[in-house]
Amino acid sequence: MKTKIAVLVSGGGTNLQALIDAQGSVLTSGEIALVVANNANAYALERAKKANIPTAVVLKKQCGSQEAFEEKLKEILTQYGIEVIILAGFMTILTEKFTSCYPRRILNVHPSLIPSFCGEGFYGLRVHEEALKYGVKVTGATVHFVNEIPDGGEIIAQKAVYIEPGDTPEILQRRVMEQAEWILLPQAAEMVCAGLQE
């Protein structure tokens, strides 16, 4: 039996696509059983539909509070028998009340080498802007377990990416995705899913 994975998304879903593409090759111990978005217009939902993966949309506004939002999420995850959760560009910070229900079972990919350029407010282009501003020569991506501290959970895997002369935040963001995030996330997902089956 494969470990059932839910991928939580907010936007375009490029990391979701990397996971979908890795099923059956890199990702063999787990399968994506559900994609949940907190944005009804997330293009990631289209990617899931194309791959025949069930989807759900949970909106915090409709739930009325963070607590109600997390309860609704848990309900849907339970319904689908989800064992591992992957945050792929999911733009909501989950509280300890939620994360403590899934110890060492929630993964997130962050576009830097933690502990650099991470924590509250560090997401999207800002991470790459700060890396360039600071003048680091190497950046990359980190997959880590999620706890109640933003980007604070135990590191599962990291991959370095060199910064090139003339990089803009946008160019760097793309290179980090292609050379690190899209490779690392499926590998880390496989490690966690395989570990649960031992």
Are 154 and 145 contacting, i.e. CB atoms less than 8 angstroms apart? yes
Are 109 and 148 contacting, i.e. CB atoms less than 8 angstroms apart? no
Are 50 and 21 contacting, i.e. CB atoms less than 8 angstroms apart? no
Q: What is the CA radius of gyration of the chain?
A: 16
Catalytic annotation present for 144: no
Give the whole-angstrom CA distance, residue 15 versus residue 2.
20
Q: Where are the beta strands (DSSP E) in the chain?
A: 3-9, 30-37, 55-57, 84-88, 106-110, 138-145, 155-162
Q: Which residues contact 50 (CB under 8 A, 6 or more apart)?
A: none
Are 151 and 122 contacting, i.e. CB atoms less than 8 angstroms apart? yes
CA nearest neighbour of 185 among 111, 99, 95, 126: 111
Give the whole-angstrom CA distance, residue 158 versus residue 150.
17
Marked catalytic residue, from 20, 45, 105, 110: 110
Q: Which residues are catalytic?
A: 110
